[in-house]
Structure 1
Amino acid sequence: MLNEAESSRRRELQRRAYAAGGGVSEAELAELRDLDARAAPIVEPEEQAPSVASEPADPSSTPEPVARGGDEGHPPSRVGDAVPEEDEAREEASDDAEEHVAPDGRRRPRVPILVLSTLVALVLGFAGAWMLLNRADTPTMTADQASAMAEIEKTARFDPGSIVYLGEKYDASVWRATSDDGAKVCVAIHVADRNEYQCTTPPEDADDSPFSEPVGVSLSQVDGEKQWSYWATLVSDITEREVLVIQRYDMSAGFDWRSQFTEGELEQIEKLTAQGVAPEYLQVVGYDADVPVFISQAGRPCVYVVDPTSDAAVESCEPDDGVYILSVGSTTYEVRETPSRGPMLTVVRTGG
């Protein structure tokens, strides 16, 4: 067992041996070893610090410091790990060990913890972006639109809480909802003081038919001299994302039959009109050079052509086995009705 003076001497040698820039001579190193050996047997197990600081108490396992030569003039050398002291020295070593081990554990977490932390950060990041995008994509309703939605919910049998405002165009506001516990998709539209809604079973994913019924609703609204017809339809884009389409058409605009013909065709139609043919029912079947051949659907089908030599109208209203035949000079025009391609014109020339 060491007395107070020996313990003080041992601590001094340890500080010199293991402090930065310090060093001991060969004689001092031997003295330190002797003091360590004398101090080791009295260390009781229950008083030992954690293993990271107390295990080096065995002199045989203590890293040996490199001594400086003292009188021989050898340069001082630095040593590695600290050797624990008895009593307070051991406590100091334990504190130092905790101070060094804890930061090192923080600097190098285990790989699974790093991987888990990274995955959690990615999931939270994507979820946050998804929620922000959804908030940005959801339009805000005005007070009038909110009132219209409340009126629609009173009469429609939508699934509770399923109605969502989609947007507004052409003064038409549109909502999406579901009914029958999600079995049907519903679209509601509001224009001025009118509301309409329609619920439809959406087509199956495997149904590629172009004639499948779309999910949508229509509404008519009179605005002064105009009568508007509105359509709101839900369709899928190429990424299978649901997209709202709103359209409108002025039903009072009427149809100008002249807009479908060229100037040359209108000149021929005027000649036919002068001889009693109703122009609004005419349709061009085909051409013979620059001479148009017409068919009319007024009452009964008839085929017409204008004789270029006399400007007279030549007609055929009695088909022969489903074929309308017109003869103008040495040229014969045959118009045949087909089930898939409509009326087809054949030009037959005879003679020289």
Structure 2
Amino acid sequence: MLGAEEAVELRALQERAYGREGALGDDEVARLRRLEALRRAPSPSHTESEQPAAQGAAAPDAPSSVSVDPARESAPAPAPDSQDTGAEGSAPSPRRTHHGRSALLLAAVCIVLGVGAGWLLFADRDASSMSLTSTQQEWQNAIVASGRYDPGSVRALRQEQDVVVWYATKGDGAQVCVVLGDAESTAPACTTREQALAQGVSASLVTVVDDSQTLDVDAYMYLTDDGAPAIVTSSYISMPQSSAQFANPEEAAVAVSLAEDVGLDRRSIMVVGYDGETPIWVGVDKATQRYCLVIDGSSPSPPMVCDDSLMLAETDRSLGLVVDDGDGITRYEYRFGYGQGYLTVTRDGEGDDAA
């Protein structure tokens, strides 16, 4: 049977593993299996006998990008088997190396399900170079001067936060590369043209925001049929005290406030959707172990409602909250259970699915 602390941890891991954009590392997957095995155990006396079976069961391992710690022209980020991880510097940080296996899993799924077509549909397919500031041009000059890429092939395609994403080739065009860089570091990842057409190539750059936050910038690149790069980028803020990921430092600060002022367990706090620019949060109340829905969260006493049923019941449940801001009435409903959660925002009788 699970204790209160383990129940909170299990709920947080389930939300991340089974959510639409969930992501777990190898250690977290193993922990999720163990906690689910403990929860299924009918009594303490049966817990040990059920654990081996649970450890052998399959568990979701959502894909995420390869990471490279800050170090100017550090090692290429690990990716699928044929991706170049040769002599370009020191090895990636152990903190994120397990993501390489996840990226390989993502590639296999793309082939089987045809997800690659979806990436190309929504990716930036404009192969023209972006305009660089004088500072960014210095970064590019350093990349060119390294001599690691074909002359004339380095081209800046996109900026994500303060990170520039470049396209380049190596070996007279035999390999294609995606390179992330900022003022402090550069994170390259290269693969063959064939692999880039079939599976793509990804890289990630992690930078320090402050003592409690890091910014993760991910880039995923495919080659279109005519050989042009198609780029998808994303970024999020993460904190060592929480397993959740946040869109910006402001959200990360609100998560701290929800833990300190509202009393939610830091490990369970996450954003489940938005009403315009307003984030909608969920988390577990540490005092009551109830699952709570919170609107905005930037004030000491934000609008919130908590679930009165058993937190880990394997049936669909919902949390509903009505807010009257003076300009109209808005109803927020978050449906959740053992898997995917969905947030619906209804204003003046009109629904807006914000899951």
Scaled to the shorter chain, the TM-score interval is 0.3 to 0.5
Relative contact order higher in (CA < 8 Å, ≥ 6 apart):
2
- Higher normalized helix content (fraction of residues): 1
Larger radius of gyration: 1
TM-score under structure 1 normalisation? 0.33
